[in-house]
Every structure is written in C-alpha cells, then in structure tokens.
C-alpha cells in the first residue's frame, strides 16, 4: 500500500476535488481523504451560482461538459422591492455571465473525472489528524475500514470546510480570526415546479429577504429570511408559500409558481476569515479558511479561486523550483477573499430586514437599493462583483 504522496488533500468538497483534478493535469499526484460517504458528498444541497471565472476553469480543464448542457446561463439578475422588479444587466455591464448549476452536480463531475484516471479518493475515513506541518515531511493519519493509516507527503491541503481539522491544527498563536454572525438565517426549499422567472430574483421586503433561484426546468430553489433557530419541519407548505408570495409580490401581477415542496432546511449566516491561510506545509483553501453569507453567491467560487491559485503555486514548486507562489499564496488569496467578504456583507445588509435598524437606517437601506438599480455606476459595482472579479 502506498505511503507517500506529493500532496494529501483533506476534504472532498469543491475545493479538494478541484485541487486534485488541477494537480493531476499538471502531473502532480495527490490523494483526497473525505469523512463522509460518496453518496452523502454527491447529494448535499448547497450552492447554485457559478461565476464566469469558475465556469471558465471547469471548461478549460475538461469538466464543464454537463454544466454547459444542463446548467442555465444567465445574463442578468433582478432586484425586487417596493412592488417593482429591476434588472441588473450583468453581461451588458461587465461582458461576463453566470451559470446556475448545483454544487453537488459539480462535485459529481469532478469525482467522475478523478475516477476516469484512477485518481485516489478515500471516502468514509475518520479521525483525520495532521502532523509535522512545520517540517518538510508532514504526514496525515486517519482511520479507514477500521485500520489506522499514516501517509507522508510534501504538502497538506486543508480543504475540509468550516468544521474541519486543518485550520485548528495551525498554532493558535499565529492565527487571527475575523467573524460576524448574522441574527437571521435562510429558510431554503426545493420545489417541483417550472421556473417563475428567467433570472434570479433577490427581493427586499418589510417581512424580510427572499430569493427565487432555479435548479432545472422542473425543480426550483427558493429561500426566505428567517430566525436562525427556526425548525424547518414545523413549517407547513401553505405557510411557506404565503411567506414567499408576500415577499415577492409585484405590482404588475406577476406571481410565483407553486408546486410540491420536497426539501426544507434552515441555514445560518456567517462572515468569517482566518488568517494566514498557510502555516509551514499546510495550506488552507475554501470554507476551511473563510465563510460568506450566501447572499452574494460567492462561497463555492472563492473555494475555486483558492485552489486555482494553490495548484499554480504547487506547479511552480514541483516543476520550476520556484517557491514564490507558495510564499505569496495566503496574501494573494486573502486579497480576493476580503473583496468577496465585503460584497457578501454589503448585499446581505442591503437586502435583509435588519431588526435593530432605526427608522433612519431603514431609509438609508431603501435609498441604497434605489441608487443601485438606477445608477449605472452603482449597478456596475454590483454586477462586476456578482459575476466575479478576474482571477489574478
């Protein structure tokens, strides 16, 4: 049994799987260690929006075929408030677009690509721990099929999400964490119905935010702002529809199309950044280092941007004897992340009902919305962040 890999990747989310795929294309071998089963990884409902840069990476690396066929390319989004809908013309403003394609479909495509070349992914592992990260020969220990195993490697990629073990393995004395927990959550539903709109609708309403997204011609994804401690199973379909209708009501008679609700969940909202994203031979990528509230649709895209950067840096290290990319990884990745953090925070504050807002602050919020949909400069600011700033 093999005991050494150039790169051991912890976590088979979008970050870990894409990193293993990119490294393979560069001729660098890796193994992915995942604590959940393959079925669980392939069916967890999460993100839906792929930025232009994410689409480009998937296309250029040969894993975009199903996304192009089954995903929906969108050239705008709508902001709804005061009974009216306002289009932000993403492509007209920026020359870029987004694709709505579920994260777990991206995951399936990446796992299929790794399988096609006999790439190593171990699912259902437990007790993962990382060792000697401040040496040039780190290792990762874990249990699989009841056996304890240890792999040595040159680098460990911590792609194990917010609750993973890699970030806490960095000494507390070098880490700094920045956080904001929002006093509201999102109630998310999957609905069997045709799309109600050609584009995503972000609605700001006195009762709270709502988002109308899509998954396919027959399945729609919708969310509405709720108390973060809300229990999804206690809500009847009727009550959910009532809330969604009220928050998206429009003066022109447009109405949301209903259908059977087959999945309900409540999502907490948090902004979080841990710095630095590297210690010794351990590099963090994706949600293990940073979280955004989903309002800006940035989380998965940031994970993709991180591993794109990390793969290039590892390529320089292994093939050009150049360590500059690895040394600069954390600083360069964080620059992009702070931009996404600000955008997500800004969208969240502009679109949600803020219970502690004074009447003055409520007027500020309304004025900002009106400005964003009426000023080309302000629309462009939203659009260029939403489609994603170029990877550099």
The residues binding ligand PHB (CB under 6 A) are: 47-49, 200, 211, 213, 221, 294-295, 297
- How many other C-beta atoms lie within 10 A of the C-beta of residue 152? 14
> Could you say which of ligand PHB, ligand RFL, none residue 248 binds, taking C-beta under 5 to 8 angstroms by partner kind?
none
Q: Which positions are catalytic?
A: 74, 202, 294, 298, 386
Q: Closest separation between CB of residue 378 and ligand PHB, Å?
A: 19
How far CA 135 is from CA of 154, 172, 389, in Å, comes to 9, 18, 35
Q: Closest separation between CB of residue 74 and ligand PHB, Å?
A: 10
> Could you say which of ligand RFL, ligand PHB, none residue 267 binds, taking C-beta under 5 to 8 angstroms by partner kind?
ligand RFL
Q: Closest separation between CB of residue 284 and ligand PHB, Å?
A: 23
Both tokens of 170, joined, read: 């960095």
> Could you say which of ligand PHB, ligand RFL, none residue 158 binds, taking C-beta under 5 to 8 angstroms by partner kind?
none
DSSP letters spanning 94-125: HS--EEE--HHHHHHHHHHHHHHTT-EEE-S-
Q: Closest separation between CB of residue 256 and ligand PHB, Å?
A: 15
> Could you say which of ligand PHB, ligand RFL, none residue 63 binds, taking C-beta under 5 to 8 angstroms by partner kind?
none
Distance CA 110, CA 259 (A): 31
Give the nearer residue to ligand PHB in terms of CB position, either 271 or 295: 295
Q: Closest separation between CB of residue 103 and ligand PHB, Å?
A: 8
> Could you say which of ligand RFL, ligand PHB, none residue 295 binds, taking C-beta under 5 to 8 angstroms by partner kind?
ligand PHB
Give the nearer residue to ligand RFL in terms of CB position, either 165 or 313: 165
129 SS3 class: strand
How far CA 179 is from CA of 168, 182, 270, 298, in Å, comes to 16, 10, 7, 17
**Phi then psi dihedrals of residue 211, to 5 deg:** -135, 125
List of residues contacting ligand RFL (CB under 6 A):
10-16, 33-36, 41, 46-49, 103, 128, 159-161, 163-165, 188, 267, 286-287, 294, 297-301, 303
Distance CA 267, CA 293 (A): 10
Give the nearer residue to ligand PHB in terms of CB position, either 106 or 297: 297
Minimal CA–CA distance to 326: which of 167, 177, 155, 211?
155
Q: Are 32 and 9 in contact (CB under 8 A)?
A: yes
- For the CA atoms of the chain, what is the radius of gyration? 21
Q: Which helix (H) or strand (E) holds 214?
A: strand 210-214
Give the nearer residue to ligand PHB in terms of CB position, either 199 or 315: 199
Give the nearer residue to ligand PHB in terms of CB position, either 221 or 247: 221
């Amino acid at each position: 049994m093999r005991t050494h890999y150039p790169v051991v990747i912890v976590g088979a989310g979008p970050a870990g799987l894409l990193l293993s795929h990119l490294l393979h294309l560069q001729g660098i071998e890796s193994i992915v260690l995942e604590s959940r089963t393959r079925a669980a990884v392939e069916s967890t409902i999460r993100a839906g929006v792929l930025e232009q840069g994410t689409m480009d990476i998937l296309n250029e690396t040969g894993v975009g075929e199903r996304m192009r066929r089954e995903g929906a390319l969108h050239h705008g989004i709508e902001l709804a408030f005061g009974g009216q809908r306002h289009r932000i013309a993403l492509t007209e403003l920026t020359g870029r677009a987004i694709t709505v394609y579920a994260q777990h479909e991206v995951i399936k495509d990446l796992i299929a690509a790794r399988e096609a070349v006999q790439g190593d992914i171990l699912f259902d592992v437990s007790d993962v721990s990382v060792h000697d990260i401040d040496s040039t020969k780190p290792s990762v220990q874990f249990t699989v099929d009841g056996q304890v195993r240890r792999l040595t490697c040159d680098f460990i990629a911590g792609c194990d999400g917010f609750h993973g073990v890699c970030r806490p393995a960095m000494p507390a004395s070098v880490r700094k964490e920045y956080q904001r927990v929002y006093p509201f959550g999102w109630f998310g539903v999957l609905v069997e119905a045709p799309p109600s709109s050609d584009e995503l609708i972000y609605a700001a309403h006195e009762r709270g935010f709502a988002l109308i997204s899509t998954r396919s011609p027959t399945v729609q994804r919708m969310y509405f702002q709720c108390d973060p401690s809300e229990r999804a199973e206690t809500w009847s379909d009727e009550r959910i529809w009532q809330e969604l209708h009220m928050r998206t009501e429009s003066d022109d008679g447009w109405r949301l199309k209903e259908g059977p609700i087959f999945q309900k969940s409540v999502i907490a909202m948090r902004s979080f950044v841990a710095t630095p994203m590297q210690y010794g031979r351990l590099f963090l990528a994706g949600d293990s280092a940073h979280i955004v509230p989903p309002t800006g649709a940035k989380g998965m895209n940031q994970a993709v941007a991180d591993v794109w950067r990390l793969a290039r840096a590892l390529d320089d290290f292994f093939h050009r004897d150049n360590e500059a990319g690895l040394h600069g990884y954390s600083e360069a990745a964080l620059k992009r992340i702070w931009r996404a953090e600000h955008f997500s925070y800004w969208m969240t504050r502009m679109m949600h009902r803020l219970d502690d807002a004074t009447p003055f602050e409520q007027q500020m919020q309304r004025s900002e919305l009106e400005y964003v949909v009426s000023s080309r400069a302000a629309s462009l600011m939203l659009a260029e962040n939403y489609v994603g700033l170029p990877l550099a």
